[in-house]
A = this chain, B = another copy of it.
């Protein structure tokens, strides 16, 4: 059969990985696709020594690829928002299918791109945008299509998980492990996107839209990073039977959809708690299937390339399908025309359990005052421990609560911090049991 002709834009880490996987495994890929997938053109500002570009048509102008009539699919691997958006829109205007690994682009501009693609009858595929090589988009969108999804929770940023893993295993401080991760190339010199949860929120936004059939709404995601997690919190969590993971969580409730990224205590025996280092994993709860989990490398040249090429295989098949019959970009048909979809809930409305750590003056009645404030806000205490005094007169108090509404917890924390007995601010980390049953 006719080959599928691909133009790769961007020849950085993922671009070179994609180039090399398509070249090395060309025979295997052709046997799977039923037709060859050939690299027709590469658009990149510079060559990459990792790739043998002999006999490849290379251009420095990526927009030339978008307009090249000999190309069926444009693979966007340049990253970033604005130029990537222009490039993808130009490719769509020229009737090309698009495969992208760009989570920021999809999370922020996806609704616009999908609309443009639907009008042109072309595919926009983005498996590589979430969790690298793990086929979680396909699993959620197709493999679990029978289910009403109840929640999903994922370790979807490898840098953050690397830092938390080493903080716990070695009892080290955040800054210390971050510096090490930077020297090893696991963290960027500006680590904000990773450690403050923005990257995870991009990916969560995409997963939630596919799970619950809502438009992409990155601007409504709650995002909290891991930079304020201390070695002491890691140790206290451990003693309580928990491990701290930086999770993206999305849950469907009667009121709407929760969409939140934050450090989270989860029970040690959960499979997600045993995902270490730079690895990613996503657990999904469906009403028919129950819990399923997807684990693997969330980043890196060839893991991400694996997902890019999987999308190319899908495109190679779907090219022959009338576009009305293809899997919708966000799993559900007509999200655009449907105003009935549930709202993304503001953070004040979410319901979860909490770990609190506060420093109090060691005098009679403190615990009673703390407990009274929580009771008045309707917060039920699961466990409360007063530790030995460590800082002069101050004693650390550790509290685990039952599930309560975030708004109530905000008010309780405001009142706790205004107590004369309590020094400084209250540390608050959310707790999720991720009950498997």
Binding site for B on A (CB under 8 A): 1, 17, 21-22, 24-25, 28-29, 31-34, 127, 132-135, 138-139, 141-148, 213, 269, 271, 274-275, 281, 286-297, 300, 302-303, 305-310, 313-314, 316-322, 324-328, 331-334
In the complex, residue of chain B having the shortest beta-carbon distance to the beta carbon of A333: B34
Q: Determine whether the beta carbon of A145 is less than 8 Å from that of B29.
A: yes
Q: How far is the CB of A303 from chain B (nearest CB, A)?
A: 5
Q: Can you sample 23 A-B contacts with CB below 8 Å?
A: A22-B146, A24-B287, A25-B146, A32-B141, A32-B332, A34-B325, A133-B289, A133-B290, A133-B292, A135-B144, A144-B306, A145-B313, A146-B307, A146-B313, A271-B275, A274-B274, A288-B309, A290-B300, A291-B295, A292-B294, A317-B327, A320-B324, A321-B325
Beyond A148-B28, A292-B296, A303-B290, whether A317 also contacts B309 by CB under 8 A is no
What B residues does A34 contact at CB under 8 A? 324-325, 328, 333
- Residue of B138, B281, B302, B334 near A142 (CB, 8 A) is B138
Known contacts A144-B310, A271-B274, A290-B297, then 8 further A-B pairs from the complex at CB < 8 Å, ordered by chain A residue: A31-B333, A138-B138, A139-B294, A142-B313, A143-B310, A281-B293, A288-B309, A292-B294
Q: Determine whether the beta carbon of B332 is less than 8 Å from that of A325.
A: no
Beyond A31-B332, A293-B295, whether A303 also contacts B288 by CB under 8 A is yes
In the complex, residue of chain B having the shortest beta-carbon distance to the beta carbon of A270: B274
What B residues does A145 contact at CB under 8 A? 29, 32-33, 309-310, 313
Number of identical monomers bound together in the oligomeric complex: 2
- Residue of B275, B289, B317 near A321 (CB, 8 A) is B317
Q: Determine whether the beta carbon of A146 is less than 8 Å from that of B306.
A: yes
What B residues does A134 contact at CB under 8 A? 289, 292
Q: Determine whether the beta carbon of A295 is less than 8 Å from that of B292.
A: yes
Q: Determine whether the beta carbon of A321 is less than 8 Å from that of B324.
A: no
Q: Determine whether the beta carbon of B306 is less than 8 Å from that of A297.
A: no
Q: Determine whether the beta carbon of A287 is less than 8 Å from that of B25.
A: yes
Max chain B C-beta neighbours (<10 A), residue from A17, A288, A289, A308:
A288
Q: Determine whether the beta carbon of A31 is less than 8 Å from that of B290.
A: no
Q: Determine whether the beta carbon of A147 is less than 8 Å from that of B321.
A: no
* Cβ-closest 8 pairs across A and B: A135-B143, A146-B309, A292-B296, A133-B289, A289-B306, A320-B325, A293-B295, A288-B302
What B residues does A269 contact at CB under 8 A? 274
Q: Determine whether the beta carbon of A314 is less than 8 Å from that of B1.
A: no
Q: How far is the CB of A284 from chain B (nearest CB, A)?
A: 9
What B residues does A321 contact at CB under 8 A? 317-318, 320-321, 325
A308 to B143, CA, bound (A): 10
What B residues does A332 contact at CB under 8 A? 31-32
A321 to B324, CA, bound (A): 11
In the complex, residue of chain B having the shortest beta-carbon distance to the beta carbon of A295: B293
- Residue of B1, B139, B328 near A139 (CB, 8 A) is B139
A213 to B34, CA, bound (A): 13
In the complex, residue of chain B having the shortest beta-carbon distance to the beta carbon of A140: B135
Q: How far is the CB of A48 from chain B (nearest CB, A)?
A: 17
